[in-house]
Amino acid sequence: MIPKSHPRYESLMARELIVEGVRKGITSTQGLIAQGRGEAFDYLIGEKTTESALRAEKVAAAKLLLAKKPVISVNGNAAALVGFELIRLSELVNAPLEVNLFHRTEERVNKIMGHLRSLGAKNLVTKNDALIPGLEHDRAKVDRDGIFAADVVLVPLEDGDRCKALVGMGKTVIAIDLNPLSRTAQCATITIVDNIIRAVPNISKFAEELKELEQEQLKDIVMGYDNKQTLSLAIEEINKNLISFIGRS
C-alpha cells in the first residue's frame, strides 16, 4: 500500500495501474516501457500542467465540440490509466470510444472493451472493417464508422506513423504526448504536452464549461492556435526546468 503522503504518490499509483493492466491483459508489456519514458518527460516539465498545455486542452475541448464526427482512440495504457475519465469525456462531447492498438491481438482488444464496459462505457465502436491507408499490418485496422470516418480524433499515447497517416487522411488529430520531440507530437494538429492523467480530466472540464457556447464562440477559441508554438513553449519549459535543476545542484 502506497501512503498518500509519499511525495511520488501519483506517479507510483500510475505505475501500479499500468502493472495491473498488464496482469489483466489490457496493457502490453511494451506499455511498461512507454510509461517509463513518459514519466521521464513528466519530470522535465515539472510534473504539472503548463500554461501552453492548458491552452491546448481548451482548444482540444472546443474542437471536439465543433466536430461533426469525433472519435476517441483508446489503447491499453490509456484504458488502464484513465478509462473512466475517457468515458466521461466521450459522453460530454458525444464521441464514441474505439480501441486501436499498436501491439494488437483480438484477445486484448476484447479485454479492453470489456474493461471499458465494466466502467460504464456504452458508446463503443467495435468493428475493424477498414484500413488506414499507408500503414502495414494490424495497426492499420479501424472501424469504418469510427476512426475511418471521423473528422476529429483524440489519440492519447499514439504511434507516430499512425498519427501521420490520420493527418494525411485530412483528419484533425489531437494527441496527448509528454515528449514534444516525438513524431506524434510533431505531426499532430493539436498536441497536448501533459500527463494523460491530468490532460483528460482537464479536457473534460473545459468541455463542460464550453458546451453551451455557440459554434462561432467555439471557433474563436480554436482560431489562431499554433501547434508549433505549443511545442516550442513546451521545450522552453523543459529548458527552464533543467537550468533550475542545475542551479540547485
CB 25 within 8 A of CB 108: yes
DSSP, collapsed to helix, strand or coil, labels residue 32 as helix
- pLDDT at residue number 159: 78
Query: CA 128, CA 105: separation in Å to the nearest integer?
Result: 12
Beta pairing class for 172-176 and 70-74 = unpaired
Structural domain count, the chain: 1
CATH number at residue 120: 3.40.50.12640
Residue 36 lies in a domain: no
- At 1-39, the pLDDT tens digits run 666 666 665 776 777 777 787 788 787 777 666 776 778
* Lowest-pLDDT range of 43-52, 141-150, 154-163, 210-219: 154-163
Beta pairing class for 97-99 and 70-74 = parallel
- pLDDT at residue number 3: 65
Residue 2 lies in a domain: no
Residues at the annotated binding site for ATP?
15, 37, 177-179, 183-184, 195-196
Of 138-142, 151-155, 241-245, give the range with the top mean pLDDT: 151-155
Parent domain of 96: 51-238
Residue 247 lies in a domain: no
Residues at the annotated binding site?
15, 37, 177-179, 183-184, 195-196
CB 222 within 8 A of CB 59: yes
Residue 16 lies in a domain: no
Residue 32 lies in a domain: no
Residue 243 lies in a domain: no
Of 8, 77, 49, 62, nearest to 220 by C-alpha is 62
Residue 41 lies in a domain: no
Burial 92-118 (b: 16+ CB within 10 A, else e): bbebbbbbbbbebeeebbebbbebbee
Residue 61 lies in a domain: yes
